Amino acid sequence: MLQSRRIYLPPLSLIGPGSLKDLAEELKALPYKKALFVTDKVLVKIGVAQQVMDTLASSNIEMVVFDNVQPNPTVKNVNNGLKLLKEQNCDVIITLGGGSPQDCGKAIGILATNGGEINDYDGIHKSKKASLPIIAINTTAGTASEVTINYVITDVERHIKMVMVDKNCLVSIAVNDPELMLGKPASLTAATGMDALTHAIESYVCNGAFHWSDALALQAIKLIASSLEEAVNNGSNLEARSKMAWGQFIAGQSFSNAGLGFVHSLAHQLGGMYDLPHGVANAILLPHVERFNIPACTHKLKKVARAMGVEVSDKNDLEGANEAIKAIEKLSKAVGIPSGLKELGVKESDFELMAQHALEDVCTGGNPRTVNLEEAVAIYKAAM
C-alpha cells in the first residue's frame, strides 16, 4: 500500500529565459519595502548583481546589499547578514547566486523570525516559525537550494557542515532564469552540474524515494546527462543552459522531498574540513558510493544507466548497474572533474574522523545500504 506523503514546494516558481523580468512584475503586487539583497562578491564584481537590481528596480523595493558570503557560508556570514538586516529594518530577503547565497539567506531568514543561534537549528525541523519571506534568484544549475527545504552552514570552529532540513526555510518565490547562467566558468558549471546529478541519483535510490520523486529524478538525470557537457564546453548555449536549469530544478524537488544519501554525508565533511567545493566533492565520491550501494539498489542503478543514455536492454541488473557507474565516471571526466581527492590535498590521516562525522550526518539515514565506520573509510580511500 502506498504511504501518505507531504510534498514541500515553493508557492511560486518562475523558470525559463526571461523569468527574471517576470519576477519584477510579481514584486509590484507585493507589500515589501526594503530587501536584504544577499549575494557574493564575484556576482557584484562582474556586474550580475547590479543587472538584477536594475531589472527589479520597477518594483520600488529598496535594496540593501550584503555580499559577504563565502563559497561555503559560515556562521559568521549568517550573523553579519542578520545584523545588517536588523539595522536596516528589512522586511524581505532577496538572494542571488548559487547555493552559498541561497543557504546563507535562508539561515538569516530563520534567525530573523525564530531568534537564537544558527547552531540551534542543526538537524530536522528545528525552527518553530516560518522564515522572513525570501525571493531566491538562482544563477547556477546545481544546488537547487532555491526550491528545497534544506540549507547548509559551516561551523568553522568545529570544521563541520551543519545540515538543516526545515520546512520553514522554504522560499516564497524561486527564480531560475538560464540567461543569468550564460557565460559562467566551465569549472563552476561542471561542479554545480555534477552536484545536480548527484541530487537526482541519490534521491532516486535513497530509502525515502517514492513514485513522484522517482519520476522527477529520472527526468532530471536525462536532462543533466544530455546537456552538462555542452553547457561546460559552450557556456553561451542557451538551450543547454535551459535544460540544466530544468534538470537541477526538478532534481531539487525530488531530493527535498525524498532525501539524499551517503555521497552527501561524506562530501559535507570534505567541505567542513577542507573548504572544498561541494559539487566537486560530490562528483568524486558519487561513483564510489553508488558502487558500494549496488547490492541494495541494483535494478534502480540499471535504470540510472538507461536515463544517462546507455543501452542496457541486453544486460542483467548487475551489469546495468555497473554501466551506470561507468557512465557517471565518463561524464565526470568529460567535464573536467579531478580524478580523486588526492589532487585536492585531502589527507588520509583525516579519513577516520571525517567518516565518524559522516555517519552522524542527517543524509546518512537515507542511504539504501547501511554503512559502518570501516566501510566509510574504505570509500574515502577508494576516492583518493
What per-residue confidence (pLDDT) applies to 3? 78
Average pLDDT over every residue of 46-50: 95
State yes or no: pLDDT of 98 exceeds 80: yes
CATH superfamily of 186-382: Dehydroquinate synthase-like - alpha domain (1.20.1090.10)
Mean pLDDT of the chain: 96
Query: pLDDT tens digit string along 303-321?
Result: 999 999 999 999 999 999 9
Please, are residues 95 and 101 in contact by the beta-carbon 8 Å criterion? yes
Query: pLDDT tens digit string along 159-174?
Result: 889 999 999 999 999 9
Within 10 A of 295 (CB to CB), how many other CB atoms are there? 10
Is pLDDT larger for residue 1 or for residue 299?
299
State yes or no: pLDDT of 104 exceeds 90: yes
User: Could you give the percent of the chain with pLDDT greater than 90?
Assistant: 97
Query: pLDDT tens digit string along 278-294?
Result: 999 999 999 999 999 99
Please, are residues 141 and 241 in contact by the beta-carbon 8 Å criterion? yes
pLDDT category of residue 2 using cuts at 50, 70 and 90: low
**12-180 and 186-382: same fold?**
no
> Which cell is 27 given?
514584486
Quick one: which of 125, 257, 122 has its CA closest to 199?
Answer: 257
Residues in the chain: 384
Query: pLDDT tens digit string along 242-275?
Result: 999 999 999 999 999 999 999 999 999 999 999 9
pLDDT category of residue 155 using cuts at 50, 70 and 90: very high
What per-residue confidence (pLDDT) applies to 4? 86
Distance separating alpha carbons of residues 375 and 64, to the nearest angstrom: 48
What per-residue confidence (pLDDT) applies to 8? 96
> Which cell is 257 given?
522531498
State yes or no: pLDDT of 232 exceeds 70: yes
CATH topology assigned to domain 12-180 = Rossmann fold (3.40.50)
* Sequence-distant (≥ 6) Cβ neighbours of residue 65 within 8 angstroms: 37, 39, 44, 49
* Domain boundaries of the chain, sorted by first residue: 12-180, 186-382
User: Could you give the percent of the chain with pLDDT greater than 70?
Assistant: 99
Least confident of 1-15, 204-218, 233-247, 331-345: 1-15
Q: DSSP string of 342-383?
A: GGGT--GGGHHHHHHHHHHSTTGGG-SS---HHHHHHHHHHT
